[in-house]
Amino acid sequence: MNRASALFSSTPLTLHSYKHQMSYTTGSLLSIGAGATLEQVVVLSDGRVATKLFAGKPVVKRDILNLPDWLLLTEGQEITVTVNNASSNTPASETTTIHPAGTMLRWIKGDQDKRVAIVMKDSLLQVKEIIAGQVTLQDYASGTYGVKRAYFKDFAEWKASLPEGGSISAEPMRQSGTPTIEEKAKAPIIATTEAAYIAELSNRYLVRCRLSPLSSINENIEYPRRMLKSEIQRLALDASLENRNIDHLISSIGTISHYAKWLKRQLIDAQGKTPEELNATRFRFTNYYKQKLFAYKGGLKYEICTNKNGIIGLAPSAEGTRYRENAVTGRSFAELGIEMKADGRPRLEVSYYRRRIEL
C-alpha cells in the first residue's frame, strides 16, 4: 500500500502537531526509514511532494501529496533532508536531520552519561543532563531550583554540544499526559489470580475503592450486651448505697436505655441468620472518586473491588453513594457468580473520566 492510499486507510494513526514546518527548498529530497522501509519524496515548486522511492524501491507511478499530509504520515520518524545546491559551484549535496515538533531526543553513552531533549516549534529544549551518573541541577545562587534545562537553536546546535561518542534516538512524544481509555483497554494485563486481575484494572483506571472489614453480627451483639450488663450492675450498686445521688442514678438509667436499644437493633439484624452468617466477617464497600469498575451478575450491574488479602467484593451500583454495607465477597469470579464472556474473561465495564467502555 503506497502513501496516497494510506492517507485514506481506516487504520488509526498517531497524530502529531506540525504547526511549525521547516521551509524546504524546491528539489530537496526528504527521506525516512532505511533499507526495505526507505521512503523518499522530492519537494516540488508548489509546496507538494512527489514519491521517488517507497519500501526501498523506485515507484512506477509517482504519488503527489501535500507536504503537511506527508509529514503527518511520517508519524514522528526522523527525516533526513538532502538539499541540492543548484546555484552553488559545489556539486555536493548538504545533508541535515529534521525532527518534527514534539519529538523527544535521547543521547546515551553507557549507563552514566545521558541527555534528554524535546524539539519545540522554533528551538530545542534539553530537559535533563546526566554526567557520571549525577543529574545536573540548576545553580542555586541564581535563585532557580530543580533539574537544569538549556535551550538550543536547533538540532545541529544541540548535537554539537554533546560529548563524543554515544548514540541518539528519537521518538514522538504523547500529545496528552493521560493515556486514553482505549489505550488503557488495549494494554496487556499480567495477573496470577482473579483478585490481582481486578487490582490491576483498578490501578490502571484510578479506581479508588476499598473493601473494609466490619465486625461480625455476633461481635456487634457482644459489645452492647457487655456494656448493658455492666451498667445494670453499677445501677444496682448505686441504688443500694445510703447516700444516693439522684442525678447519677438518672444518668445510669439513660445509659442503660441507650445500650438496650443498641442491643435490640443488633438482635433484630441477627434474626433468621445461620451460625456461619452470625460469625462471618462482613465488608464495607467504599468508592472515593468518580472512576468505577463494574461487573455483571444475573444481568445486573455491580461495582467491583478487591483488597490486599485477595478478597473480591461486589456492591450494587448506586450513583452518588460512597459507602455500601454488607458487600458480597468471595475469592473467585465463579464464587461470586460474575458473568463471563466467550473468551473466558469476566464481563466488566469501566467508568473513566466521564466515559464508559466495556473491557
Rounded CA-CA distance 192/209 in Å is 21
Contact 202, 291 (CB under 8 A): no
pTM for this predicted structure: 0.42
pLDDT tens-digit map of 121-165: 888 889 888 888 888 887 776 666 788 888 888 888 888 888 888
- Sign of the CA dihedral running 332, 337, 343, 344: positive
Nearest C-alpha neighbor of 105 from the set 87, 138, 128:
128
Q: pLDDT category, 13, cuts 50, 70, 90?
A: very low
pLDDT tens-digit map of 32-85: 887 778 888 888 877 788 888 888 788 767 778 888 878 878 877 878 887 665
Torsion over CA of 286, 292, 293 and 297, rounded to 10 degrees?
Answer: 70
Contact 291, 206 (CB under 8 A): yes
The H-or-E segment that residue 32 falls in is strand 29-32
pLDDT tens-digit map of 245-280: 777 777 788 888 888 888 888 888 888 888 877 777
Nearest C-alpha neighbor of 136 from the set 115, 167, 163, 159:
115
Contact 354, 299 (CB under 8 A): no
| Pure H helices in 63-193 | 67-73, 155-161, 181-186
pLDDT of residue 111: 83
| Integer angstrom CA distances of residue 56 from 30, 33, 45, 129, 304 | 14, 9, 25, 37, 52
Domain spans of the chain, in order of start? 3-98, 103-172, 181-214+281-358, 218-272
